[in-house]
Amino acid sequence: MALREILRYPDPRLRKKALPVARVDKEIQDLVRDMAETMYKAPGIGLAATQIDVAKRVIVIDVSADRKDLRVFVNPVISERSGVFGVEEGCLSVPGVFEEVERAQKVTVRAQDQHGTPFELVAEDLLAVCIQHEIDHLDGKVFVDYLSRLKQQRIRKKLEKQQRLAM
């Protein structure tokens, strides 16, 4: 297992569209393990492969309080969405920024798990938001894209400044 470096907004690599996983093999299982370790260490409640510069449709999520409910989604696709829900979202690629985004309150998602077994899940509230947020990453989207242009500029400046200071 290895910790991976998380890309920071506005890194252009966050804009890459991830490709479907043809087969859930050992390489994917290793990737999932690294992603889970990186997410827990950060700490965060979700991570998409895009965020560690791997263009594959894989996400990991754990919204549980005790951090023992890892959910793995390979090739996730939302087939149904309903309702409106919003929470203050954060993102490991946009540290220190929390903003509410309008999302579906309930989604039905189809995916494969880390063994390649297909499943369907109906998720609500925070888990539903997290799934939508992470799938956005796979499509090259970041939650700040939903905010006003002014807020986006402010966030970009703030993060660029942080990165300069960190050098």
Q: Name the site residues for Ni ion (rule: CB under 5 A).
A: 91
- To Ni ion, the closest distance from the beta carbon of 51 in angstroms equals 6
**Which of residues 24 and 59 has its CB atom nearest to Ni ion in the complex?**
59
Active site residue 134: yes
**Which of residues 59 and 111 has its CB atom nearest to Ni ion in the complex?**
59
Q: 162: which 2 tokens?
A: 């942080």
* Residue 118, beta-bridge partner list: 112
Chain position carrying tokens 């090259």: 140
- To Ni ion, the closest distance from the beta carbon of 74 in angstroms equals 18
Dist. CA 111–CA 91, nearest whole Å: 22
Catalytic option among 37, 89, 134, 160: 134
- To Ni ion, the closest distance from the beta carbon of 126 in angstroms equals 14
**Which of residues 7 and 91 has its CB atom nearest to Ni ion in the complex?**
91
- Secondary element (H or E) of residue 109: strand 106-112
Q: Cis omega (within 30 of 0) on the bond before 43?
A: yes
Active site residues per annotation: 134
